[in-house]
Amino acid sequence: MAEDKKPNKPVKKAAGPKQGEPPKKPPANVEAPKDDFDDNIRLGLDADRVMKVAGGVGAVSLVACLGLGFTGDAKRFMFAYLTAYIWILSIAIGALFWVTLQHLVNANWSIVLRRVAELMAQNMPLMALLALPILVPTAMGNDSLYIWVNHETVHADHLLHHKAPYLNVTFFLIRCAIYFGFWVLLSRYLFQTSVAQDQSKSPGDLAKRMQGLSAPSMILLALTLTFAAFDFLMSLEPAWFSTIYGVYFFAGCVLSFNSLFALTLMWLQKQGRLVKSVSVEHYHDIGKMMFGFTVFWAYIGFSQFMLIWYANIPEETFWYKMRFTGDWRTVSAILLVCHFVLPFLGLLSRHIKRNKKTLGFWAVWILVLHYVDIYWLVKPSLHEETLPTGDLLLDVTAIVGMLGLFLAGAAYQAKKVRLVAVGDPRLPKSLAFENF
Amino acid sequence: MAAISDVNPFVQPPKGDNDFARVTDNVSRIAEVNRPPRAWYIAFGISTSLLGLFGISVAYLFWEGIGIWGNMNPSYWGFPIVNFVFWVGIGHAGTLISAILYLMRQTWRTAINRFAEAMTIFAVICAAVFPGLHVGRPWLPYWMFPIPNQMQMWPQFRSPLEWDVFAVGTYATVSLLFWYMGMIPDLATFRDRSTSPLRRALYGAFAMGWRGSSRQWHRYERAYLLLAALATPLVLSVHSVVSFDFATSQMPGWHTTIFPPYFVAGAIFGGFAMVVTLAVPARQFFGLKRIITINHLELMSKIILATGMMVGYAYGMEFFIAWYSGSAYEGFALLNRAVGPFAWSYWAMIFCNVVTPQVFWFKSMRRNVWVIFFVGVLVNIGMWFERFVIIVTSGSRDFLPASWGYFIPTAWDFATLAGSFGLFFTLFLLFCRYLPMVAMAEVKAFVPAAHASGDHH
């Protein structure tokens, strides 16, 4: 295996699979620099393909969504857009958390997977860009999403008045700048240092440096994630409050990221990448994380619900009342059964986690249900009692648009780098990793 | 130490031809030598004295009634429940180490898991005592259990206090099974090495005929994995249910949704603090420094720092939401903690739980046994104060200012608290003396010699 890493070694001519080709013909993509690594770890032309297909479909879809928004009802558009946006943002945050966590705990098993997660976390600038359709109208005083934007509403309502020092447009925008600024900086730093490690003569030092930075970063990540959840989601119902809300959002971030992560790895292997390096053992561990966070999500969701239900204080119960009336009652039941009970039973067996097909099935399942979860958090504020089935086109275009751009963004970053952190000194341990 | 080092078997290097034999020798001789180290006698003397104090306190309590405590309108729960939650929390590190760290393949846990598990059992015993004492009718504690009876009298199943009975009961049972099952191979080692018939008979009985055949090992590993998987949700559930005792109420400062994970993080935090508090002297006096190395202590320091930050996060969220909610009572309850009559306890808690663990940002501090021990003790104090802050501060000033009061503990409160430490340490010291303190079989799987052939398991 790749036990011997000689970072700056000249390229071995004979190593390539294609013998007859003159070396300088395809300039950028095909098999560009030969790595001293016994696997196909360059995305090459497939990156272009993803950028074209996913990026193209995504862009068209998102434009269609925005078009529908401009021509139709602004509120409905904003709520549909926010739902899809939070869904994709949670995956990006989950990726950033995952990378930071692997550094923090000095994990060995995951080194071979780290680059792919780094690439997904690299979408943070795109996330900031995609937030603009939420931030710009809010900055301009549009209260379609957040009623606390409207001065008159705030003055008429004692509670909103009380919260105004926090829930006001200026401070909201400053906070968003802090969130995205930190996320962009952290993901950039971890990515660039990791890429530098590929060629570095002292990769161990870089690993140490990333580990050192990940500890304080984790604190900031916890705080930014929490307050972003408060700002984007909880303040949709500004009268309502729950101290566990950030943790609930966090559970969804990690869960959905691990699901998309498993699917991405499967796709890469289908394209002939990482075939020798990523093994069933790695899928097994990702599957364990999916299982663990399915349970954690349910634990946090139950804690929040049970405590509010039991104490029965009207200031808090109205939030659940909204979700227990009309069609939302069904959605709540679906969340309980399909977001917890079924994946819990489904992911319990190690055979399922070690089989790409079954694990892939549950990964798709969880991603869909995670969207339902966000839907359930966001939409009842606008649509009481009945499901906004009329907004299906808005929802679908928003989802497809953002997911497409997310994948294209990751592929764009992937074009320039190896798909494996080949320089990391712990890589052999990760390659040889086996579950006992 | 120095005075008796010439004859002290604990400071001599362990005997044996290879690492496996040396591990066995190092651990087994603690239970085999004729006399434990002098420090053990001193500690045991203090512990049994405190245990005696506990006996006196309980005897007087049963004689006189719970009026001997400071529990008084409006603080009905007082010390007994503070102590109960404190001790249950201590118990969490053991299961975390034996179950969650096992599932996470943290092989370093093998050096500390056995006595952390033992600590869990003893802490749960200490915890279980207090609700029984607090009900004030020591002849009726069986009412807590749903025992079928002719009068059709049942406990209130809708009360979180009743859920506690089940949660702690389940936890104690599974922890005990986990601890005992893990100990069987080591008990067999003790049996095989014993020189007296009595020891052979006793260790032999408890080793349940363990011979170490590969089939037995296979069964053992399977059972261990299953127990680990079953115990993992228990790490979260027990203290979550304990937090329900408070959070299901409408009491400001108690009713907040972050309580379950916050209590769990705090329990692991306090539990690890207790593990290092015990591990530092134990490795010193029993000559276990080659097994429980400074690296282990450093890793535990990191866990203390991480869980301390989680607890700090929860304190912060409580404060922020108390303001954000706009609820006058909630806001007052939190402000009352920080600047009210019990502010001293709040700031003691913040100092111990949030400020002191910050020294662990520095590697030199994480590798200094004195610092680790000292921080461990402070965190234990801080975690006790955390429960005091929650229980006493909220209880003494609720919605009606007319019913406010101040809680003053009595000497008997302190005697019972100190006595519970006596109970804990007595049990722990007996464990150190008579049972395998370190999971020898598990440690051996990870000594370098076990990997001589180059496999990576």
- Reported as a single tens digit per residue, the pLDDT across B288-333 is 888 899 999 999 999 999 999 999 999 999 999 999 999 999 999 9
* Separation of alpha carbons B112 and B288, rounded Å: 11
Q: Which of A288, A304, A432 sits opposite B257 (nearest CB)?
A: A304
**Contact assessment for residue B391 and residue B81, using Cβ atoms and an 8 Å cutoff:** yes
Closest CA to A39 of A307, A269, A248: A269
Q: Sign of the CA dihedral A56, A61, A66, A67?
A: positive
pLDDT for B446 = 83
pLDDT at B239 over 70: yes
Element holding A115 (H helix, E strand): helix A111-121
Residues paired with residue A418 on neighbouring β-strands, in sequence order? A42
Interacting residues of B406 by C-beta distance below 8 A, sequence separation 6+: B341, B396
pLDDT of residue B136: 85
Output the pLDDT for position B139.
Answer: 87
What is the CATH code of the structural domain delimited by B4-451?
1.20.1630.10
How is chain A split among helix, strand and coil, in percent rounded to 5?
70, 0, 25
pLDDT grade for B451, boundaries at 50, 70 and 90: low
Judge whether A198 and A7 are in contact, CB under 8 Å. Answer: yes
Q: What is the mean pLDDT of residues A299-312?
A: 96
* Distance to chain B for A54, nearest Cα, Å: 36
Give residue B441's pLDDT band: very low, low, confident or very high (50, 70, 90). Answer: confident
Contact of A127 with A89, CB cutoff 8 Å = yes
Q: What is the mean pLDDT of chain B?
A: 90
Give the residue with greater pLDDT, B180 vs B100. Answer: B180
Calpha distance B405→B73 (Å, rounded) = 7
Q: Tokens representing B22?
A: 């040396």
**Chain A interface, best mutation among B108, B243, B258, by max A CB count within 10 A:** B258
Distance, CA of B72 to CA of B411 (rounded, Å): 15
For A303, which of B233, B260, B324 is closest by C-beta distance? Answer: B260
Residue B74: cis peptide before it, omega within 30 degrees of 0: yes
- Average pLDDT rounded to a whole number, residues B392-396: 89
- pLDDT for A257: 97
- Inter-chain residue contact A311 with B255, CB threshold 8 Å: yes
Nearest CB to A244; choose among B105, B233, B261: B261
- What is the mean pLDDT of the segment spanning B31-37? 85
Segment A31-49 shows an average pLDDT of 77
The structure tokens 């990940």 sit at A214
- pLDDT value of residue A24: 46
Task: Give the tens place of pLDDT for each residue, A376-388.
Answer: 999 999 998 899 9
Q: How confident is the model at residue A11 (pLDDT cuts 50, 70, 90)?
A: very low
For A243, the closest of B258, B327, B456 (CB atoms) is B258
Contact B321 A313 (CB under 8 A): no
Beta bridge partners of B72: B75
Question: Rounded distance, CA A131 to CA A86, Å?
Answer: 9
Which backbone phi and psi does B342 adopt, to 5 degrees?
-100, 20
> How crowded is residue B34: how many other Cβ atoms within 10 Å of its Cβ?
5
Inter-chain residue contact A243 with B247, CB threshold 8 Å: no
Say how many Å lie between the first and final Cα of chain B, rounded: 39
Is the pLDDT confidence value at B2 over 70? no
Local confidence band at B7 (pLDDT 50, 70, 90 cut-offs):
low
Tell me the CA distances in angstroms from B370 to B276, B284, B297, one per residue in order: 11, 12, 11
Q: Any chain B CB within 8 A of the CB of A314?
A: no
B216–chain A Cβ distance below 8 A for any pair: no
To the nearest 5 percent, what fractions of chain B are helix, strand and coil?
Answer: 75, 0, 25
pLDDT at residue A1 in the model:
40
Please indicate whether residue A237 or residue B11 has the higher confidence score (pLDDT): A237
Residues B199 and B205: beta-carbon distance below 8 Å: no
Are B256 and B321 a contacting pair, CB within 8 Å?
yes
Indicate yes or no: CB of A163 within 8 angstroms of CB of B327. Answer: no
Are B240 and A299 within 8 A, CB to CB? yes
Which pLDDT band, with edges at 50, 70 and 90, does B453 fall under? low
pLDDT tens, residue by residue, A79-108? 999 999 999 999 999 999 999 999 999 999
Report DSSP state, residue A8. T
- Among B244, B396, B390, B400, residue whose Cα is nearest residue B329: B400
d(CA A128, CA A181): 9
Q: Does pLDDT of A38 surpass 70?
A: yes
In this prediction, residue A78 carries a pLDDT of 95
DSSP 8-state class, residue B353: I
Average pLDDT over residues B2-28: 72
How far apart are alpha carbons A243 and B256 in whole angstroms? 6
Residue A432, token pair as written in the block: 């040889």
| CA angle, A282 then A186 then A193, to 5° | 70
All residues at 6 or more sequence positions from B360 whose CB lies less than 8 Å from its CB, including other chains: B301, B302, B304, B305, B366, B375
**Inter-residue contact B117 to B90 (CB < 8 Å):** no
Whether A403 contacts A56, CB under 8 Å: no
pLDDT of residue B452: 60
Domain boundaries, chain A: 53-415
Nearest to B56 by CA among B90, B432, B327, B48: B48
Scanning A240-269 for CB atoms below 8 A from B yields 241-247
pLDDT at A14 exceeding the cut of 80: no
Of the pLDDT bands very low, low, confident and very high (cuts 50, 70, 90), residue A213 is very high
Q: What is the pLDDT of residue A2?
A: 42
Residue-wise pLDDT for B326-380, tens only, equals 999 999 999 999 999 999 999 999 999 999 999 999 999 999 999 999 999 999 9
pLDDT tops 70 at residue A162 = yes
Does the structure show a pLDDT above 50 at A18? no
Q: What is the rounded CA–CA span in Å between residue A43 and residue A419? A: 7
- Say if residue A157's pLDDT is above 90: yes
How distant is the alpha carbon of residue B337 from its chain centre?
26
Residue B107 confidence (pLDDT): 85
Q: B338 near B354, Cβ under 8 Å? A: no
Q: A162: which chain B residues are within 8 Å (Cβ-Cβ)?
A: 326
Backbone angles phi, psi at A255, to 5 degrees: -60, -50
d(CA A123, CA A125): 6
CB hemisphere CA count around A121 (13 angstroms): 31
Nearest CA among A211, A374, A351 for reference residue A284? A351
Residue A163 C-alpha, separation from nearest chain B C-alpha, in angstroms: 6
**Higher pLDDT, residue B140 or A251:** A251
Residue B12 confidence (pLDDT) above 80: no
Q: Give yes or no for residue A15 having a pLDDT over 70.
A: no
Chain A to chain B, count of Cβ pairs less than 8 Å apart?
76
- Cα separation, B155 vs B165, whole angstroms: 10
CB B436 within 8 A of CB B187: yes
**Chain A residue with Cα closest to B299:** A105
Out of A295, A303, A315, whose CB is closest to B240? A303
**Residue A26 has what pLDDT?**
43
Determine contact: A159 vs chain B, CB below 8 A.
yes
Name the band, by pLDDT with cuts 50, 70 and 90, for residue A304. very high
Facing A247 at nearest CB: one of B250, B261, B456: B261
Q: Which of A221, A193, A210 is nearest to A96 (CA)?
A: A221
d(CA A384, CA A387): 8
